[in-house]
Amino acid sequence: MSWKCLVLVPALIAPALSAQAPAWIQSPSAPFPSHTYLTGYGLSEARGSEAQRMKEAKAMARQELASTLRVRVQSEFTSATAHTRTEGTRYVQNLVQTRSDLDLEGLDRFETWTDPRSGAIHVLAVIERTRAASLLEERLQTQAREARSEFQRIKAHRDLDGLLKVRGLLKRTHEDAGLLRVLGKSAMPLDLPSQGELDSMALEVLKARPGLDGALDAALYTLGADLPGRLRVMIDRIVYGQTRFSSTFGAYLEQRLGERLLKFDGIQVLDRALAAREGSPLQSQALLHGTYIEMGDEVSLLLKATAMGGEELASSQIRLPKAWIQKAGLRLLPENHQEAAQSLAILDTQVRPSDLKINLQVDRGDGGIYRQGELLHLFLRSNRDCYVRVVYQQVDGSKVQVFPNQYHPDYRVKKDAITRIPAEGDLFELRISEPFGSEIVKVFASTEPFELAPAATAQEGPFARLDASVQAMTTRFRGIQVQKAKTLSAEASAVVNTVPTAASPKPLAR
């Protein structure tokens, strides 16, 4: 957001403000001219405690100020790379695509005012350009000294973790140099090792690592090298080709990816299931995806990181000998993948278009990987009041109706409300157990009450067991619209990939 845009926000609300409002409410440029200061404006809700309102307004002001800097860093990046490509440009480009919370040195001043009539708190975050530039220069020099010292040490020891530390320091210098230019100054020459030197040394170290783990670490180094430091990432599904299926190889990739990314300059790997269940206070800035497919005696693995807006940040592709994966005791696909694919084909075809829409979300995402003993949570949302039944098809082909059930017999869903299964306080849980493979969750929704099976249905714990085939079950449900012309129906499905607790490879030689 430009500085001119910042002036508009207070101006729009000016008529409703008290006459005692300070000058910066009407125009931040009066006390804080743009050639000397950078500012960001924040406004709280009128409700809540004073501490909550102040926190909300300050957070908004910081975010707006950071967004302004982000836009200007993007402009600096575009200008600097219009005619040439320099070291670190890919990193800076990725930085501006993902970060709205740049580290703001010198942000130690907040102007605040509480509207006596509404109780809303107004905050102006203020950075003095000269002071911020001076602090950034000091930090650049400190980082440069640390990077040079660490680089001298690792030249002798060929330590991968040390290389990653130096690489992180180089990334921060590129970030800070961009901010320094926004503040009107240029960084002094820092005499740092080049990224090319670091990458060559890292590849030498990685090539000396034997087998599957060494090859995967090399791929992950390539992926992580272009990601901004202190990035918040979430691992999305890792599946076979264009399917929604995965197995122990995908589970091991997911685990390895999470462990190794933590080595890259403060990158945070968020728990997707926890975020879905509890609402994580840290929002993800990027998603990591993986696909793999057999190509003769090899397996081609593609890893990608994308910003939440969809832009690709980094990618890495390698080929692995299939024999390594087999000797490690890992499977590319679950044993029941053909049966699961056939069931999906029946469930997902010939679905009638309808004004009723039902959305099904699994807490680890469609095609997500669950280990033995982990809990599964489902989330439903519809655009109309309706009735729903949720069926879970297990690896062995058996089907149970998990919702409604003995402990939660009400199967009505309110329009636009999120229905969590199980909900807080429910006396049942969905816990992963053997046999393992690809399992399917299917939700059927209708504006009229309906049944998927006869009333006298056998129980499997608190759940009803459905003995009908997938074909018979869907045919019964889809006949509702034929029987009652005004009834609306909808369907949705998701894949749950289950694996044993230990999805780790056996030691093997290269």
What number of other Cβ atoms are within 10 A of residue 295's Cβ? 10
* Chain position carrying tokens 């405690």: 49
Supply the pLDDT for residue 13: 40
Cβ atoms of 163 and 153 within 8 Å: the answer is no
In degrees, rounded to 5, the angle at the alpha carbon of residue 102 between the alpha carbons of residues 96 and 105 is 140
Q: Where in the chain is the domain with CATH 2.60.40.1930?
A: 337-499
Topology given in CATH for the domain delimited by 209-327: Rossmann fold (3.40.50)
Instruction: Report CA 281 to chain centroid distance, whole Å.
Output: 13
Answer whether residue 273 shows pLDDT above 70.
yes
Answer whether residue 85 shows pLDDT above 60.
no
Query: For the residues 491-505, what does the mean pLDDT come to?
Result: 83
| More confident of the two residues 67 and 43 | 43
How far is it, in rounded angstroms, from Cα 277 to Cα 144?
42
Looking at 74-88, 276-290, 334-348, which range is the least confident one? Answer: 74-88
Supply the pLDDT for residue 19: 52
**pLDDT level of residue 364 (50, 70, 90 thresholds):** very high
| More confident of the two residues 177 and 14 | 177
Query: For the residues 44-70, what does the mean pLDDT come to?
Result: 86
Looking at 67-81, 120-134, 402-416, which range is the least confident one? Answer: 67-81
403 closest CA partner among 429, 385, 383, 424: 429
Answer whether residue 12 shows pLDDT above 50.
no
Answer whether residue 442 shows pLDDT above 70.
yes
Supply the pLDDT for residue 439: 96
**pLDDT level of residue 102 (50, 70, 90 thresholds):** low
Supply the pLDDT for residue 509: 34
Supply the pLDDT for residue 243: 95
Q: Per residue in 207-233, pLDDT tens? A: 788 789 889 988 988 888 778 777 888
Dihedral class, residue 109 (left if φ above 0, else alpha if ψ from -120 to 50, else beta): beta
Supply the pLDDT for residue 419: 93
380 closest CA partner among 353, 393, 362: 362
Answer whether residue 1 shows pLDDT above 80.
no
**Phi, psi for 39 (deg, rounded to 5):** -130, 155
* Chain position carrying tokens 């714990």: 461
Query: For the residues 84-92, what does the mean pLDDT come to?
Result: 54
Cβ atoms of 504 and 253 within 8 Å: the answer is no
Supply the pLDDT for residue 74: 67
Would you list the DSSP string of 48-106? S-HHHHHHHHHHHHHHHHHHHHHHHHHHHHHHHTSS---TTHHHHHHHHHH-S----TT
CATH number of 337-499: 2.60.40.1930
Dihedral class, residue 416 (left if φ above 0, else alpha if ψ from -120 to 50, else beta): left
Answer whether residue 15 shows pLDDT above 60.
no
How far is it, in rounded angstroms, from Cα 335 to Cα 434?
13
Supply the pLDDT for residue 187: 75
**pLDDT level of residue 491 (50, 70, 90 thresholds):** very high
Q: What is the DSSP letter of 441?
A: E
Instruction: Report CA 152 to chain centroid distance, whole Å.
Output: 36
Kindly state the helix (H) or strand (E) to which residue 463 belongs, with its residue range. strand 463-466
Answer whether residue 99 shows pLDDT above 90.
no
What number of other Cβ atoms are within 10 A of residue 148's Cβ? 15
72 closest CA partner among 34, 41, 25, 117: 34
**pLDDT level of residue 76 (50, 70, 90 thresholds):** low
Percent of the chain topping pLDDT 70: 85
- The order of strands in the sheet holding 109-114 is 37-43, 121-128, 109-114
How far is it, in rounded angstroms, from Cα 449 to Cα 477?
11
Cβ atoms of 300 and 321 within 8 Å: the answer is no
Answer whether residue 488 shows pLDDT above 70.
yes
Supply the pLDDT for residue 11: 37
Kindly state the helix (H) or strand (E) to which residue 477 belongs, with its residue range. helix 470-478
How far is it, in rounded angstroms, from Cα 501 to Cα 460?
24
**pLDDT level of residue 481 (50, 70, 90 thresholds):** low
Query: For the residues 302-319, what does the mean pLDDT come to?
Result: 89
**pLDDT level of residue 479 (50, 70, 90 thresholds):** confident
Q: Where in the chain is the domain with CATH 3.40.50.10610?
A: 209-327
| Two tokens, residue 165 | 């530390």
Supply the pLDDT for residue 390: 96
Answer whether residue 257 shows pLDDT above 80.
yes
Answer whether residue 358 shows pLDDT above 50.
yes
| Two tokens, residue 429 | 């849980």
What residues have CB less than 8 Å from 509, skipping those under 6 apart?
210, 211
- Tell me the three state secondary structure of residue 473: helix
Looking at 44-53, 96-105, 200-209, which range is the least confident one? Answer: 96-105
Q: Where in the chain is the domain with CATH 3.10.129?
A: 3-131
Query: For the residues 367-380, what does the mean pLDDT come to?
Result: 94
Supply the pLDDT for residue 4: 29
How far is it, in rounded angstroms, from Cα 401 to Cα 391?
4
The second-level CATH assignment, the architecture, of 3-131 is Roll (3.10)
Answer whether residue 335 shows pLDDT above 70.
yes
Would you list the DSSP string of 203-270? HHHHHTS-HHHHHHHHHHHHHHHTSPTT-EEEEEEEEETTSS---HHHHHHHHHHHHHHTTSTT-EEE
